[in-house]
Each structure stands twice: as structure tokens, then as C-alpha cells.
Chains A and B, each alone.
Chain A
Amino acid sequence: MNSRTYRIKNLHLVAVVVWSGLFTNSLYAIDPAVVEAQQRRVAVVNEVSPTVVAIFSASGEGGGGSGVLISADGYVLSNYHVTSGAGDFMKCGLNDGKLYDAVIVGIDPTGDVALLKMLGRDDFPIAKIGDSDALHAGDWVYAMGNPFLLATDFKPTVTYGIVSGVHRYQYPAGTILEYTDCIQTDSSINPGNSGGPLFNDAGELVGINGRGSFEKRGRVNSGAGYAISINQIMNFLGHLKSGRIVDHATLGATVASVSDGSVVVESILEESAAYRRGLREGDEIVSFAGRPIRSVNQYKNILGIYPKGWKLPLEYRRNQEKETVQVRLRGLHAQSEIIPGQKKKPQPPGKEGAQKKAPKEPEVPAEFAKIYEKKTGFANYHFNQQEQNRILGRLNQWGDYASRNGLWKISGKDQKGNPFKVELSNEQATLSYGGKVWKQSFDGSELTTDPPNTGGLLVALHHLRLFMTHHGFLFSEFMYLGTEPLDGLGNRVDVLTSELTSVQSRWYFSDKDQTFLGFDTQVRPDTDEAEIRFSKLKEFGELKFPSHWSVSSGGANSVEWIIESIQLSPGPKPTGKQVTSR
């Protein structure tokens, strides 16, 4: 290189430096909106960062992932495939740099959701819940979490991207795990992001990141990440708080799309509620849970966001006639299929770096002994017990029903003035109404659904007496189920369930003040339920009792009963058992 070119290049260097300097200065002066947009992003990230959780196994070995706080007392949402790898006791880090103990609460292996509880504070920062159905493709979203488990100070990593698609359906990959109605994003989702939050542009929680499409580029972000919609998770939240292993739902019918774009019933189980409500092969499904159905994926999407047992409106068409019915959804799986360690264990969606074998079941550490109880069908039965106590505590304010376990006599009249009289004892239920008398014995004889078209009111009333006097004590199964919309359309209510022989009952309580709102009793799995709703609580001597009952079954018009008198005798001998909870 001769000296001449050398000099020229030096000049060139100077010119470039000066120019770039000018450019830089003018850039920052260009448009305040740019700075404003950036400041807004920074503000959102600062606001939500304290709610993002880094999850590790208690031993520090094995699994890990991310989560997000949704309640001040420490409830955290994450992925099932994160907690299944991390174990029932975990360590959770927040961006304040502190590490907290956490315990598993409830799991949804099908939906890949887990609820855990962080301990030690009642003032945890919480994420604001957004509306995932309001998202559009193209909206900006923030994915936060602990990708590659690289944040040793627990400060979350932020990746910013757009919504690539909404209402996506992702097939189960050889397992029971499926992502329905999920959000697709190009925000970078990597191993370790699993369980972490997806926030919308306003910093509201719209999803839980958990899955990605990977192929030949390896198990890192390839531009297609998926988040479970927060609206789905909110449907399941009450169930998850029950400490149970929760299940998803099926209508009991398979559908297929036909050439004209409509979706028709291909086959249907005769014991399903949908069949009892009149749905048959060949009927066109018009809408479900208020959403129109135009493809099989849409049907799967909608079905996938609801828990087993919810009652939802189904609209179908046959010969140009449309019919809307309320259908209670069946469970998608046999319980053995969703209990970890039994049968097919759901595999993680294959992206967590942390997905080695779950650590060996540890001894329950002393500090967790009071908040963890193992029981089949539950992730942590302790939380079920807590919820039962919360609800039944309020019921005890109706009076000392525990001592009234003798003969019950209830009488009144219906809305037309026809009198009725009910007698209930341990051995028998009798109803005199409309000039007829119905009897049901409980000596092992077959249970009926009498009177006709009531779904088995006699059995239902018998179970009401068992429940009021002994709560769960006399049933073979009794638990807090979670929350569901009352009668498919109403407000969310807390639900307790009981089981005795073939009879299953659901007991409904206001989720606001735990008022006992009514119950459904199903005599056999293939029969319609007797549905009793209470109102107008009245004092009958020392006891409070609802004075208005609405009685119906199978979608038929209800009969209104006005209670005029109750006589609930003390039993021959109190059981001596504590009945508020076992």
C-alpha cells in the first residue's frame, strides 16, 4: 500500500466519523413519538417484570421454567410440563432477586397448565388479567420468562413480537397434551420460557407460553411459539385451586366437516347429555358456547377451553330447524389417563432444556407438611380441604343442622297453590304432591328417578338431607370441584361434589359470599339431573332454610315450590363426629 492511498483512506475515515456523528444527533431529535413509544415499552416491562417468576426444582437439579403471579397470596400460573419436571416443591425467584418456596396446587395435564403457590408473603405483585379473545394477528406482545434458565438474578428476559395468529389448534404430539384455541406469536419462545407470561401491549396477561414449532433448526425459537390463552386458563382456575388433577371435556360426539363447510355430528354416545338433549348423527353443529362452528378445528378449539362438567349452550340444526340446548360436558379422559405416573404419562412438548426425568419424589420437607397432602386424583389435597372449609364454614351459619339428623318434614305449595309434603329419613323418602304419593327406600333397593320428569327428586332430597346434616361425611367421595357458570349461563359459582353408589350431586355456592344456591343430583350417569335452586332464605325457628325452591330437570320448565313449614327432628343419637370437615 503506497502512502497516497493510505492518506486518502485516512481522510475517508474522518469524513465517516463526522457524518455518522451528525446523523446520530439528528436521529435522536427526529421524532418524539419514537422516544415515546420506546419509553412506553420500557414502562410496561418495568411494570410487569415483578410478576414474572423463575421456577426451579427444590433441589436445584432437574426441571425449571417460568411462571407468573396472579394473586397477592402467591398463586402462580405455569406449564404442567414445567412443574412435572420440577417436582411438587419448588423454588421460585422474582426480579427482586429473592428466592421463595413454592408448592404445587393443581395441574391440568391436558391443557399443560399448572397452578402453584409461592409462600412467605401476602403482598406479591400480580399481573393484570387481560382478555385473550380481544387479541388480533399483528398486535404487539411481550413474552417474558427465563429462557435457557440464564437469569441467575431472576430478572426476566423480554422478547417482543407480534401475534402471528389467534385461535390456533395444535395437535397432541403423541400424548394427551393439546393446545386448543391458543395464541401464536413470533416473540422468541425458547426452552425455559415455558410457563412464562405473554403480555399484550398494555401489559395485561393474555397467555402462558409453552410450546413452539421446531424442526431442522433445533430446539430453539423458529418463529412460531404458542401460548395457552388466559381465557381458557381462567375457565380452569377454580378447578386448579381445588388441588385436583383436572380434566378437559368432550361432548360425547365426533364431528366432521362436509363439503359445504358445515360441521356435522358423525357419531354420538347414547349416554351423553348431548344425546339426551336430542343431538343425533347428521345434525349440523351451528354454535357452541356462543361461538359459531365452521370447521372441525374450531369445534376442537372451543371444546378444549372448558373443563369437564361445565354446562354450555349448544345450537344445532336439523332439517332447517334450529334448536338450542344446555349440555353438560363429559370428561375427556379416564382418570387413570391423566394421573401422572399411571398409564401414559403426558410428555412435555419437547422443548424444555429442563425435561429430564422428574426428580425422585422427595420426602415432604417439614416446612411443607402443613400445606401438602397427597391423595389419588389430586396434585395437592390440602388445597381442596381449604376450599371445602371456606365454603362449608358459611353453611354452618344456617344453624346446627348436624344435630337434626332425625326425620325431616317439609311442606308448602307450588306456584298454583297445590300443596306438597316431603318426609325424609335415613331409610326412606316420601313425597305427596298433586294427589299422588311417591316413595323411595334406601335399603339397597333400586333407585328411581321418580317422580317422572324430575330426574329423581326423591333421591335428590334424600341427598340434601345427608349433605346438610353431615356435609361430606356420609358420601363415598366428597370434594371441592372448582367453579363453573351456574346452569351454563349464570355467574360463576363454587361447586362441591358428592358421590354415593351411582348417585352424583353438585352443590352450588355463590363464589362471592358462599351462599348455598342449590344443587343437582344425578341418579345414574345416563339420566338427567334433578335440578333444585334456592332463593329467599327464611328463618324457621333456630334454622335458616331457603323458602323458595325451583325444581326442574332436562331443560323442562321448572316448578316453583314455596316452603311453608319445616320440622327437622334431632336424630335418635348424634353421631358425635365433627361434620364441618373431615
Chain B
Amino acid sequence: MNWVFVHLLRKTLCCIIIAGGMSLSCVSTVANADDSQAAVRSIQSRMVKIFGAGGLRNLYSYSTGFLASPDGHIVTVWSHVLDQDRVTVILANGRKETAVVLGAEPQLDLAVLKIEREGLQLPYFDLENHASAAPGTRVLAFSNMFKVATGDEPLSILHGVIAAKTKLTARRGAYEVPYDGPVYIIDAITNNPGAGGGLVTNTQGELLAMIGKELRNNESNTWINYAMPMSELTPVIKQIMTGDYVSQETKPDGEDNPLRYQPLDFGLLMIADVVFRTPAFIEVVDANSLAEELGLKPGDLILFVNDNLVQSCRELRQEFGRLEAGDDLSLTIRRDDKLMTVDAIVPRKVNEN
């Protein structure tokens, strides 16, 4: 009883601090209206609109990104929008460019694109130069949400306050989200369609975080407005940009978690995952396994897991990693130019240890 009371008081205290921080930054914005206008314009000039795959049903075909180098490196969220060879990028001045995916870290929901045209001298963000923020900090969120802006029209801005810095526990559709690192929770509705890859800054215009995808809270099933701190993203972005990025394929989604399903759990050994998008070909089918029971054979290419397109061995592992015992499992495979689908129930996972 008393303990609960203490807890409540702590919460009250926390609220007061938030209020204090809010008011203080509010004054600074009021005092420097011209400065904030300049900061806003400066940020918008370094952001891009991204148009790619999607456009069907709830799959919007646009997202947001920001420039990380004068040569046209663009940071954005890893999403279905990037599921095509080239995406269209619209710079702040309205110029249309094409870009390709240079590298991605699905674990962080992060991708880095590169504009194909060489010799560009673009305004960009120096990623080393980011700030961090405590709950109560007033923030601005910049994004291409709802595709409101087109051409050279500036991106939408929202204002809000960092409500918390916490670990993400979220899901997308039926699946858990691989990222479980620290995030800022924001009291504004920042995570809208197309907002992923947008930026959260403080009112001084300093970089704080990248807006993530639209996710729901694991427990409450409510939509989360969150952004991933630049401190989490910057090292990987830098590595992808310099080509030093070591893919975390050895530890993809759930592989370090003995509770997560892997291809071997179904008796599948996939071909060696050597390139960024190694197609999900089956190398070996274990005898007396579920895979054998389903009639899968070496050489089969797995295209869909439960209607989700898997474009690589890594995506296959991610999809398997999201399964729970008792789930319906449907695999669509290609064998000799024929498509076939097999259905099963995910068996209880056998833990060898």
C-alpha cells in the first residue's frame, strides 16, 4: 500500500519535472522566433521524400529520409518502400533523383540509400553532431507523413515533448519488432504513414532521433509514437557509408534467443548466406523433419512465409523468428518455375539445452 503510494508520488514528481522543462524551452522558442524559423528551414533543406514500392491496400509507397553526406547518402527506415531496385528521392528543392539501397540493418529498422548521380554537393547532417534529450524536452518532428507535401513543398512539422526514454516493446501487425533498444516516446502523433525516416530535433534544431515505423505497443495494443536516438544509429550508419559494415547476419532476428524458431527447427538448412540478399534456397532437408513431411526438397526457393514476401535468407530467419508454437505456417515455394504452397502448424519448439 505504502509502496504504491511512493510510486505514485514519484510519478507526480516526474510530471512536475516535465512541466518545468516544457515551460523553459517554451520561453526560448518564444524569444527566438526568427532563429527557430531559420533552424526549421535549415533542417527541411537537408531532408528528402522517398517514393518506392507499395501503394496497395494499407501499404503506403512513401517515406522520409535525411541526408548524411554531401554525396547523397540518405538515412531512412528499413521498410517495404525500399523493396525495389531503385527508389525515387525528392530533394528539398524539388529535384527528383534515384537512389539504391547501400545497406540495411533490419535489427535497427535502418537503411542507408545512396543517390546514384555522382558529384552532388548537397546540404547534409553531420551525424556525429547529434544531441540527446531527457523527458520533458520540447521537440519538433519533421516528416513526409500522409504525403502532404509534394515536390519542393517543405515537410510537415509537429511539436511535442519527449514523454519518456525507454526500451521499445512493440509489434507490427502480428509480429514482434526486432529492435528492443532505447527509444524516445513522444507525446505528439509522430509515427504516421510515411513518417518513418523523419527526424526529431530539439527546438535548437539539434538532431535527436529518427522517427520509426507505425508500431503498436505489445501490451496495450495502442499506437506508439517513438523515435530511435541517433546515438544508437550513427555507428551503423557510418559503417554502412564507409563500407565497413559487418552484417549482423550471424545473429539475426531471434537467433541469439533460444526461444525463437530457426530454419533448423523445421529441418531446413538454407544455402550459405553470403550476400546482402541471398535468395532463400533450401540446401538440405533433414530426414524425419517437418520439412520432409511437407515435401520440401533441396533447391526449393522459399518465396513467402505466411503471405509475407521473403527476399533473402535473412528475411526468412526473421519471419521464422516471429512464429509461435501453434501458429499457422504457410510456405510458398518455387520449384522448377512452379509455385506451390504447403501448410502446417508450428510445432512446439524443442530446446536442445
Contacts and interface: CB of A to CB of B under 8 A. Distances in A.
A23 B24 contact: no
Contacts of A294: 94, 151-152
A120 interface: no
B171 to A, nearest CB: 14
Nearest to A40: B30
Interface in A290-304: 294-295, 297
Given A13-B9, A27-B19, A217-B223, A37 B157 contact: no
B167 interface: no
A224 B320 CA distance: 37
A221 interface: yes
B27 A37 contact: yes
B13 A138 contact: no
B36 to A, nearest CB: 6
Given A186-B159, A223-B192, A138 B154 contact: no
A224 B188 CA distance: 11
Contacts of B157: 137-138, 162-165, 186
A9 B151 contact: no
Given A13-B9, A297-B151, A224 B27 contact: no
Interface in A162-186: 162-165, 167-170, 184, 186
B40 A137 contact: yes
Contact of B6 (A13, A23, A217, A297): A13
A167 B152 CA distance: 12
A33 interface: yes
A295 B146 CA distance: 19
Contacts of A136: 37
A37 B40 contact: no
B26 A37 contact: yes
A17 B9 contact: yes
A168 B155 CA distance: 10
B278 to A, nearest CB: 33
Nearest to A168: B148
Contact of A137 (B17, B27, B154): B154
B158 A20 contact: no
A133 to B, nearest CB: 15
B116 interface: no
Contact of A19 (B13, B154, B158, B193): B13
Nearest to A34: B23
Given A37-B27, A161-B159, A295-B150, A6 B9 contact: no
Interface residues of B, number: 46
Contacts of A221: 189
Interface in A3-40: 6, 9-10, 12-13, 16-17, 19-20, 23-24, 27, 30-31, 33-34, 37-38
Nearest to B10: A16
Contacts of A37: 23, 26-27, 30
Given A137-B40, A162-B158, A216-B58, A297 B153 contact: yes
B145 interface: yes
B24 A31 contact: yes
A261 interface: yes
A20 B9 contact: yes
Contacts of A223: 145, 158, 188-190, 192
A20 B193 contact: no
Nearest to B14: A20
A163 B95 CA distance: 25
Contacts of B37: 136, 138
Contacts of A138: 36-37, 40, 140, 157
Contacts of B23: 30-31, 34, 37-38
Contacts of A12: 6
A503 B149 CA distance: 44
Contacts of A137: 40, 154, 157
A215 interface: yes
A213 B152 contact: no
B258 interface: no
B3 A9 contact: yes
Contacts of A6: 2
Q: Which of B17, B151, B188 has the most CB of A within 10 A?
A: B151
A295 B188 contact: no
A554 to B, nearest CB: 35
A30 B155 CA distance: 35
Contacts of A17: 9
Interface string B8-48: 01101100110110011011001100001100100000000
B156 interface: yes
Contact of B156 (A16, A19, A165, A217): A165
Nearest to A5: B3
A34 B19 CA distance: 11
B253 interface: no
A217 B214 CA distance: 10
B83 to A, nearest CB: 20
A261 B96 CA distance: 10
Given A23-B13, A164-B158, A213-B146, A13 B5 contact: yes
Interface in A229-274: 257, 261
A16 B11 CA distance: 11
A222 interface: yes
Contacts of B9: 13, 16-17, 20
A13 B192 CA distance: 41
Given A9-B2, A20-B16, A137-B40, A34 B24 contact: yes
Interface string B50-68: 0000000010000000000
A169 B149 CA distance: 8
A16 B148 contact: no
A286 to B, nearest CB: 17
B154 A165 contact: yes
A162 B161 CA distance: 13
Contact of A184 (B12, B20, B156): B156
- Taking each of A6, A10, A37, A138, which has the highest tally of chain B beta carbons within 10 Å of its own beta carbon? A138
B30 A33 contact: yes
A224 B159 contact: no
Interface in A197-233: 213, 215-217, 221-224
A162 B153 contact: no
B45 to A, nearest CB: 13
A12 B150 CA distance: 55
Contacts of B159: 161-162, 186
Interface in A119-177: 136-138, 161-165, 167-170
A295 B94 contact: yes
B5 to A, nearest CB: 7
A9 B26 contact: no
Nearest to B189: A223
Interface string B215-230: 0000000010000000
Contacts of A9: 2-3, 6
A13 B94 contact: no
A224 B146 contact: yes
B16 A224 contact: no
Contacts of A186: 157-159, 188-189
Contacts of B6: 9, 12-13, 16
Nearest to A23: B16
Given A13-B2, A27-B16, 6 more contacts: A20-B16, A23-B17, A34-B24, A138-B140, A165-B153, A213-B145
11 contacts: A13-B6, A30-B20, A37-B26, A37-B30, A138-B36, A164-B158, A165-B153, A213-B148, A215-B58, A223-B158, A294-B152
Interface of B: 2-3, 5-6, 9-10, 12-13, 16-17, 19-20, 23-24, 26-27, 30-31, 36-37, 40, 58, 94-95, 140, 145-146, 148-159, 188-190, 192-193, 214, 223
Interface of A: 6, 9-10, 12-13, 16-17, 19-20, 23-24, 27, 30-31, 33-34, 37-38, 136-138, 161-165, 167-170, 184, 186, 213, 215-217, 221-224, 257, 261, 294-295, 297
A-B complex: 9 closest residue pairs judged by Cβ atoms: A223-B189, A213-B146, A34-B23, A186-B158, A295-B151, A164-B156, A33-B27, A162-B159, A20-B13
